[in-house]
Chains A and B, each alone.
Chain A
C-alpha cells in the first residue's frame, strides 16, 4: 500500500492536469438556462432501497437508514476505474460541489456525499479508508463517505434497484480485462431517502447538482446540522 501511495504522489501533476481538463470540459457543457433554485420541483423517482454495505471500518450499515436525514449526492465508482468519462468525472464534480457547498449556508453541514464501490472484492474497507482519508481534511462541513460491500452479491441488488448497470469488460478474445463497464450515474437523494434527480455521463455538472441540491434544501430545509454520517 505504501508503494501505491508513493506511486500516486508521482502522478499528482498528471492528476491535476487531468482534473482541470475534465472540469473545463464538463463546465463547457454545463446546462444553460437552469431555473432558479427553489423555483421548481424535483420528481420523486424512486426510494433508496435497503442494502447492507460496509463503512471504512468494515461496520455494516443499512443504506436506507444511512441516507436519511440529509441531502445526499451518491455515485457508484470503483478505485481501478480507467474510464475517463466515468469515475474521474464524478470525482471532479464532487470536489467542486463540496467546495461550493461548504461555503453556502444553505448546504453547508446539510449536504452529504457518498461513493459506493461496484468492485467490493478489490475495494475493501481498507482501500475505502485510504480514499476517505484523502477526502476528509478540513471538509467536515460536507462529509464524503465511502462504502463498499462484503461481496459482489451483497452489492448487486442495490445496484439493480438503483438502475446502475455494471458488468465485466471483455476483450476481443472474450476474456475479462479487470475493468468494470458501467454508465456513470450520480443520484441526488433527499432527506427522506427519495432519489430526486439522476445525472448520467455527459450531463453531470456541478452547476446542475448544486442547483438541485439547493432546490431540495429550500423546499424541505434540513434544520441545523444533519445527523453525522461518520
Chain B
C-alpha cells in the first residue's frame, strides 16, 4: 500500500514555492499530551520554562471579595515577582469553580463551575500575564440537560466537555457536550446506560492514533455539593458513585466497552512515551491504580495494578500527574495531604518509591514537561475541603531533583484574600502567533 502510494506521489509530484525550506528536520510525530496531562490536540507545547501559572480559584466566604477568580502567578525563577500573584480576575459570585482546559490553539482557557454550570472563556493568548474574560456560557443546563461542566478537552476547532450530572434529578447520570471554539453548542452525547454502563462521567482522555477515548466516572450534583461529613454518613448517598470506565470509538462517539472500575475512577492519563499504548487512573474510594491496556487478544481491559497508601484509612486519591516518559506517576492523597511517587517502569506493577507531606490537604498536582518542577494546590470541593485550621489553601511550588521535592515558594491563598486554590494551567509568552 505504501509502495503504491509512493509511486503515485513520485509520478504525480507537485512542486510549490514553499518546498525549498521544507527539507529540514521532519518532526511531525504527533504529540499525545501537553505538559503531560492536556489534550493531544492542543498546540503550543511548553517543553521549556513555563512563565505563568493560572489557578482557577473558588471564592470563599470571608476571604477577599468572595468571588471565584482566575489567579495568575509568575513562576519564572529569578523574576522579581517569582512566586507572587501578578494578576487576579474575579468573575463574580461563587459557583463551585473547578477545572479548566485550553482550546486547541492554546489561546483561550475555558473554566467551569460545577454548581451554577457557568463556563467562562478567558483570552490567555493575547497577554498571558493579564488574562481577560471574553465570554460566559450561562445556559448549559437549559440547552443540554446536563449540569456540572467538569473536564474541558480540546479537539480541533472544538471543546469537548464532560458534565458530572443532569438537571432532572442531579444524579451522576450525565453526558458529553461538544462546543465549537466560539462557544456555540455543537452536540451532546449521553454516557452509556447499557452493557454495564452507569451513565456517570468525570474525565476524558483520547488516544488519537488508536481512535480511542476513555472516560471515567464520579458522582452527581447531590453528592458533590453535599458536606463531606454528612455524605460519608449517608450510606444511601455513598452508593451513588461511579464504578465504571468506558472506552469509545472516538470518531463515531460510540461506546465500545464498559469496564468495571469500582470506587470512582477519576483522572485518566495516557502514557506519553512513543510506542506505549496504555492509560492509568486512580480510584478515589477504593484507593487503587488501574491500568487500561490491550490484552493478548487485543481487547482493551482495565485491571487494578497497585494500592495507593492504606485503602482502609480512605486516603482519598485525587489528582495524578504522569511524567512525559511514562516512567513516573505522582498521586495526591487528599486526606493526609501527601503526594506519592510511583515507579511505572512496569505499568503492570507500579511501586510507590517516594512520599512527601504537602500540607493538611492537597488536591491538584501539575508538573513541567521535564518533570523538574511541580506545583500543588489544595481545594477539592468547597463542601469537601477540611474545616478550621486544616482548611489550608495554598499553591506550593517545588523543584524535583529525582530524589527530593524542595519547596521553592508558597502562595497562601487565604492571606492573599483569594479563596480556595484548585485547578492549574501553564502559559508562556513565546506561544504561537497572535490572531491577526
A interface residues (Cβ-Cβ under 8 A, vs B):
4, 7-9, 11-12, 14-16, 18-27, 29, 31-35, 39-41, 43-46, 77-85, 87-89, 91-92, 95-96, 99, 127, 131, 134-135, 137, 152, 156, 159-161, 163, 165-169, 180-183, 185, 195, 197-203, 208, 211
B interface residues (Cβ-Cβ under 8 A, vs A):
2, 5-6, 8-10, 12-31, 40-41, 43, 104-105, 107, 155-158, 178, 180-182, 184, 186-187, 208-212, 249, 251-254, 432-436
Chain A residues, Cβ within 8 Å of B27: 84-85
Q: Which residue of B lies closest to A33 (CB)?
A: B211
CB contact between A163 and one of B181, B211, B249, B253 (< 8 Å): that residue? B181
Q: Are B211 and A31 in contact (CB under 8 A)?
A: yes
The 8 closest A-B pairs by CB, nearest first: A167-B433, A82-B21, A202-B30, A40-B252, A198-B156, A79-B17, A81-B18, A181-B433
Chain A residues, Cβ within 8 Å of B178: 43
Known: A29-B209, A182-B433. A12 touches B13 (CB 8 A): yes
CB contact between B249 and one of A19, A22, A35, A185 (< 8 Å): that residue? A35
Q: Are A45 and B180 in contact (CB under 8 A)?
A: yes
Q: Are B30 and A29 in contact (CB under 8 A)?
A: yes
The CA of A159 and the CA of B10, in the complex, are separated in Å by: 32
Q: Which residue of B lies closest to A31 (CB)?
A: B211
Q: Least Cβ distance of A58 to chain B in Å?
A: 19
Q: Least Cβ distance of B172 to chain A in Å?
A: 25
Q: Are A15 and B28 in contact (CB under 8 A)?
A: no
Chain A residues, Cβ within 8 Å of B20: 7, 11, 82
Q: Which residue of B lies closest to A122 (CB)?
A: B17
Chain A residues, Cβ within 8 Å of B12: 95, 99, 137
Known: A34-B251, A167-B435. A84 touches B9 (CB 8 A): no
Q: Are A24 and B22 in contact (CB under 8 A)?
A: no
Q: Are B436 and A167 in contact (CB under 8 A)?
A: yes
Chain A residues, Cβ within 8 Å of B155: 198
Chain A residues, Cβ within 8 Å of B186: 43-45
The CA of A183 and the CA of B125, in the complex, are separated in Å by: 14
Q: Least Cβ distance of A101 to chain B in Å?
A: 12
The CA of A201 and the CA of B45, in the complex, are separated in Å by: 13
Q: Least Cβ distance of A6 to chain B in Å?
A: 11
CB contact between A33 and one of B41, B212, B432 (< 8 Å): that residue? B212
Known: A27-B5, A202-B30. A12 touches B18 (CB 8 A): no
Q: Are B24 and A29 in contact (CB under 8 A)?
A: no
Q: Are A87 and B18 in contact (CB under 8 A)?
A: yes
Most buried by A among B156, B180, B186, B252: B156
Q: Which residue of A lies closest to B10 (CB)?
A: A16
Known: A43-B178, A96-B5, A201-B43. A79 touches B105 (CB 8 A): no
Most buried by A among B10, B17, B20, B27: B17
Q: Least Cβ distance of B107 to chain A in Å?
A: 7
Q: Are A96 and B9 in contact (CB under 8 A)?
A: yes
Q: Are A39 and B252 in contact (CB under 8 A)?
A: yes
Q: Least Cβ distance of A139 to chain B in Å?
A: 8
Q: Are A20 and B6 in contact (CB under 8 A)?
A: yes
CB contact between B24 and one of A77, A82, A135, A156 (< 8 Å): that residue? A82
CB contact between B107 and one of A25, A127, A165, A203 (< 8 Å): that residue? A165
